[in-house]
Amino acid sequence: MKKTVMIMAALLFVGVAQVYGQSFKDLLNKGKDVVSPVVEQLDVIPKNIEGNWEFSGSAVKFTGDNVLMNAASELAAGKVEDQLNEYLQKVGIRQGLFSYVFNADGTFTTTFSKMNFSGQYTFSQEEGTIELDYGKNEKLKGVSLKTDVSVSLNSMQLLFNADKLLDFISKITSTVGDSKIGALASLIDQYDGLKIGFELSRVK
């Protein structure tokens, strides 16, 4: 009798071990699927940004030494990003309608809703920035934007001083004085060191 009970207990233990072992293995495998791959950042040099880049979303980031505590900065950035997305959608800056082309000769073109705004760009590899000079464009005469750049193989992020970018957007979209941009600017003014911009995807 004792021998039979021991055999049954052993079989039960093996069965449970197999079930839990399989579950644990599945959990580990699922964990591998959940972990996002590390995106390799490239140097901010001409050959890495040359090509056609299409708008894929907005970007908001706190910079500088006086950054808010992590949780607070994330909440603030999220609030600004929501309003920025709403504003960009309203004025027509969305995927398929807004893009950049950077050429090897130092020229670039910003396209918005079939309108092209061309200029010249210069690099500062040390600072990781690009200066976008729109030169003599009628709508953007004298406009020059400095942007912080991070780039990978298939994506690029451009971050600008908020007031400069909002002025640029209002000019190309002919929405100068719009109440929505005023509300967004007022919100951004509440935070020091906040930069806004665009997430871009490489067009292959």
7 with 50, same domain: the answer is: no
Instruction: Reply yes or no on whether the pLDDT at 8 is more than 80.
Output: no
Residue 41 lies in a domain: no
For 95, residues 6+ apart whose C-beta sits below 8 A from its C-beta are: 54, 55, 56
For 194, residues 6+ apart whose C-beta sits below 8 A from its C-beta are: 60, 61, 62, 63, 76, 77, 80, 162, 188
Q: Rounded to the nearest 5°, which phi and psi values hold at 125?
A: -65, -35
Range of the domain at 18: 1-35
For 186, residues 6+ apart whose C-beta sits below 8 A from its C-beta are: none
119-154 pLDDT tens trace: 999 988 888 899 999 987 888 988 999 999 999 999
Residue 40 lies in a domain: no
53 with 4, same domain: the answer is: no
Residue 99 lies in a domain: yes
Question: Cβ distance 58 to 85 under 8 Å?
Answer: yes
Residue 22 lies in a domain: yes
Task: State the CB neighbour count (10 A cutoff) for residue 117.
Answer: 21
* pLDDT score of 64: 60
Q: Which amino acid is at 53?
A: W
Residue 193 lies in a domain: yes
* pLDDT score of 65: 56
C-alpha gyration radius of the chain:
25
In the chain, % of residues over pLDDT 90:
40
15 with 76, same domain: the answer is: no
Helix and strand element counts for the chain (H, E):
5, 8
Instruction: Reply yes or no on whether the pLDDT at 40 is more than 80.
Output: no
The CATH number that applies at residue 84 is 2.40.128
* pLDDT score of 104: 94
Which tops the pLDDT comparison, 73 or 150? 150
How many Å from the N-terminal Cα to the C-terminal Cα in the chain?
A: 73
10 with 94, same domain: the answer is: no
13 with 73, same domain: the answer is: no
164 with 191, same domain: the answer is: yes
24 with 51, same domain: the answer is: no
Instruction: Reply yes or no on whether the pLDDT at 35 is more than 50.
Output: no
* pLDDT score of 174: 83
If one counts the domains in the chain, the total is 2
Residue 183 lies in a domain: yes
58 with 29, same domain: the answer is: no
User: What string of DSSP letters covers 110-147?
Assistant: EEETTEEEEEEEEEETTTTEEEEE-TT-STTTT-EEEE
Q: pTM score, two decimals?
A: 0.75
Which tops the pLDDT comparison, 133 or 22? 133
Instruction: Reply yes or no on whether the pLDDT at 69 is more than 60.
Output: no
29 with 69, same domain: the answer is: no
Residue 11 lies in a domain: yes
Task: State the CB neighbour count (10 A cutoff) for residue 90.
Answer: 14
84 with 27, same domain: the answer is: no
